[in-house]
Structure 1
Amino acid sequence: MQVLGLGCPLVFLALVTIFTPSPGASFKPAQTATKPGGEETEVQISKGENRAVISDFDPSQEYAFKVIAVRGNEESKPLQGRYAVPDLEPDEGVQPQKLDTTATEDVNEITGVDQFVCTTPAIADIVILVDGSWSIGRLNFRLVRMFLENLVNAFTVGIDKTRIGLAQYSGDPRIEWHLNAFNTKDSVIDAVKNLPYKGGNTLTGLALTYILENSFKPESGARSGVPKIGILITDGKSQDDVLPPAQSLRDAGVELFAIGVKNADENELKAIASDPDETHVYNVADFSIMSTIVEGLTRIVCDRVEQQDKEIKGEAGPEPTQGPPQDLVTSEVTARSFRVTWSKAPGAVEKYRVVYYPTQGGLPDEAVVDGTENSVVLRNLNSLTEYQIAVFAVYTSAASEALRGSETTLALPMVNDLELSDVTHSTMRARWRPVEGASGYMILYAPLSDGEATDEKEIKVAATETDVELEGLSPKTEYTVTVYAMYGEEASDPLTSQETTLAMEPPGNLQVSDIDHSSARVTWDPAPGKVRGYRILYAPFGDEQHSEVEMGPATSLILRNLTSLTEYNVAVLALYDEGQSDPITDGFTTRLVPEPLDLRTSEVTTDSFQVSWQHPADDIVLYRLSWTPVSGGDTKETVLNGNTDAFLLSDLQPFTEYEVTLSAIYSDESESDAATISETTLERTTTVATTTAVVRQGVKNMFIDDETTYSLQVSWELQDPNVLQYRVSYVSLRGDRAEEAVLVPSSQSSLLLQPLLSDNEVQGDSHPGLR
């Protein structure tokens, strides 16, 4: 890793250093310019640049340069050189000069920067208002802390010196510390280093009102007769009105500075800050370069504290009567023109003379504007050409020194503000601002693989179309999208952006409800996009075999035939034409099979009583009924069909208490807890009864059908109203099993016999039990 080549063209009263970066290296050059015997200054340049402008250049001095490439914690050997301006006439053209580069010793370090320190004896109350909204992010907030630390270090901080307070805001502001919270600079620095990240929305107007009402108050440490400074740091446009709160602060004597980063609205910053904007508004492209404005900001704040202090004490000095304009800014750059703007020079300026010419050589041209103006558009320029600019303030009998700068015209007008939005797993929209004079646009897009575009596709549209949907994209893939403005067959420089398609989104908010012993309801929120349907997978926990249901775009499903008291995992996947999403999962445990409900007795006699109950579920196949004398004796048991809800217990002992238990057997062969009830038969009384012989009818028309591998359906007919119950007995004709019998209530005329042995002949009988 090294820096190759070092050159130095002189540009009026600034020095431009040009160097060649190491091929393929990802580094950040750092350049140091030193007057021999003078102080050393360090400038950090982004890795995409190969030049630096040395401001405050003194052409009478010889300068030494050191350029070091930095990658992470690694630093290259320095490339060093010296430069002295040759003797030139005032109006003589200046040509690039080659630096005298020399071999360097094996040193690999960057010397520290001598940071500006405000030495004015004037003191101030400074309140910093920091945007802590989510858009900043935790990583960038660390850079904000470093910026604040440098800012605090520039002032003499103490309880009887300059006081610094800080508030952080997002949706709601809060005081991090008041002006009188700390007595030393070190304690303020410690508070800055430990400043927490708040997070939330951006309500700048509310925060400005908050510091007016809470920070600039005597009880918070604000002092009378002391300059008051407010410094706002934000990265976005406020979601509320900032004009009235900012005006209230200024009316209260608070001088406001506004620092914007990345997506900050410059017009809003200007509306907040005190005048003039040129010294009170700062806007940087990224948090990583906030450090570049620390010195300029602290110098201005220091000067304004000193000036305010004089104004408060009635000691303001006289304004300078003559001097050069300040703060050269170029804007509205096109292929053929750009605007030059400056801050007005002091005193009675009659006019401004703007001289400009191509850096690579060419005749100078000039524009002259009235002394009341501070801007001019330079026209009829060459495209893709760097111009040197000098602005002179012309007085009645003299002209000021030049305010100098440079700007490069554009190529043919290209697309601006390319925005990739409405991103799904298979589409995204590309939008851009129309380009005046373009005949159409060409869009190229391709997935990125190892940082390179592959399988590029092309779309051409008319000049009236500036919004195109890109379709047929792959999910979870980074795409590069490039848009050219077309001028006939000629294309402008491209504008490129990158965006990653979404993964195929799963459904959301998976919930399981209505859980019982054999079923559960699964519901979910629909997945976004063009969903074809859903796939539901479920299985007992730890079981590799799962059940699967594929369905349309419904968002609910009842899982049935589950096993009781079993933990289940369930997963739901969204189905797209391109494939399926990742699953959303949940778990649940089925309930215990329920016992029979409302077990009760009735029709109690000396030797019998009837037991009845309600079915607790729909999937009961059998009931197990048993009864035992409480005082001791044999327990009798019978198995009843799952449709049965009553049974007559007969052949009981008179005046005897019986305990009856009933349990339900389910289709998964699980058996519920038993429901229990007690009943006592009646005491026998001696009576003489006259009986009349009655002819009883037998069962007729018995049918056996609905045969399966393990069951038979038996049905019969009987028209005798005096039947209390039926006794159905059956036996295998193989003789390998004993006869079995089932008692059936009189209201029932059929019975399902199960479980039986497969491929076995069975003989059955049905007998009525009569009153």
Structure 2
Amino acid sequence: LVIPLSSKGQLLSVQQRQMDLKADVSTAMVTELSPKTDYSLTIYAMYPGLIGDSATIKVKTTPLPEVSNFRVIEEGLFSLRLGWTPPQGKLNGFKIFIPRSNRPGFIYEQLLPRDISSHVIDSLEEDKKYTVSIYAVYPEGPNKPVSVVGKTLKLVPVHQFLVQNATTDTVQARWASVRGATGYRLTWASTEGHIENINLGDNFNFYMIQGLHTGSEYTITINPIFGDIEGPITTAKVKTLESSSVQTLKVSAVSTSTAVVSWNSVPGATGYRLAWRPTPEFVGRDRPRQLALNSSTTQYQLKNVAHDTEYVLTLYVLFGSAVGPGITVTFRTSPLGYVSNFKVTSYTSTIIDVAWSPIVGATEYKLSWKTGNIFIPYLDRSILFHRLKDLNPQSTYTVTICAVYGNSEGPEISLSHDFEFIMMREVKVEDIGVNSFTLSWKKAPGASGYKISWIPFLGGDEKSHVVSADSASYTIRNLRESSAYKIQVSSMVGSREGSAVLVTARTLDLPKVEGFAALNTTDNSTVLNWTRVAGASGYRLSWRHISVFDTKTEILGPGFTYYKISDLLYGRTYLFTIRPLYGEVEGPISTMYQRICKTLSKLFD
């Protein structure tokens, strides 16, 4: 017999029910009871026609399982997102509500399906606390509710708003994220009334504003966005720089392995990046290198660069993490200390006196010649003369010299001497051109002619030419520009060649483009102008945006002195370069940076 008890412990006989059990049963499951209720359970022994003794116990059913881990997942400006863990057992659903006592005059309740575990309550008030309750609904009825306190967000502005690292056409905006914001609206306005804005996602806390005008003041504002609601505005002012690029970049004190780079300071710069590499013609002679320098540095010495190599060097201005415009120059290191003006100054039947010109940077000189054994004396750098003694007057001697730089040796220079020939005197390089040398000498008595031979220092075929005894000069043509040569002049008697006098010389650089400038710049185009280079067969014109490496190139004929480039981006800075062409040979580069907004151009050599 199953009878529920009242809260005072009295039997509620009207609600009693009876269960009949078989004689061989010793346990039974009593179901369909009410949760959290006291019951009186009595069992009777039944005999045919009789009721035997009884036994009674009192028990109390457990409460229905409650919702657990009820929490606020996300706080919004006008909403709260709640989550929970459903209890075990058969459920009909959930009821979520805000008690009236918590918000007088405000009613919210919602019946939810049994298969969900989160819910958003919206249409709440900004910056208010709410107590939210939930209970699970069972077939037997609801369980005990559980509650959580949540607070809606306050409509606040952006804090820690910084506008910094201004260049001529960009500024960087940074800010602290606003809790609950779904995005941000960033606006910039010039004093002339030009206004632009951009909507950014909630994951943004940095943005670079581009396309600004040089030397202009801007008002920058930002406000958080909460769905369809815009938060308060935060304002900052900034002025772009008059110039964010280096105006003067020079390379000086160039030696075989070093060069000094200097430039003017740029206001507002946080540092500089210096990059250098061999030009395409000299690729493989050295690797590309770069380094970062602080904002107070305006001079740097490059070390361990390759000798006799042309480099292109670019200096970039840094504004925080942003890289400003760069400026480019080219320079060429000196050859590795070849000895110049190596010659026989006098001789007797057993002595030869040799002399040479000093070489900058040499630590000593290595001199060698062979008389049965090879003699190799090392001479101090202050010594520019040496006497070879105890020689065989019947022999021809080859004497070799090279400059020594610490542990490195420069190129060798050799000359031969035959005691039977009259020595050549006063051999000089009278004139040097881009592709030619003119030599002169004093005529040697008894000579039937003179042999002139030449070979590039960096290697190549040796060439020679024989002129008549009446000649006292000769012009070597078709030489390579910007190149060093070893030149020997010797007297001839019939088919025999006498002692040679060695001289060295270097051809001039090819002419470069002058007057390279931008004219008639519009919002998307510019006209480049330059002075015609005499002897050039054409021009290679290239351009690219300073922040990308995709370069466009045009090959122009020799008659061009201007060229219009269109489809450029407004407010962006471009790098323009031009080289004169001499057949298949490219001349030196001229470089210019131009911002596409009708500003004056700047020419950098």
Q: TM-score, normalised by structure 2?
A: 0.34
Which structure carries more helix by proportion? Answer: 1
Which structure carries more strand by proportion? Answer: 2
Higher relative contact order (CA 8 A, sep 6+): 2
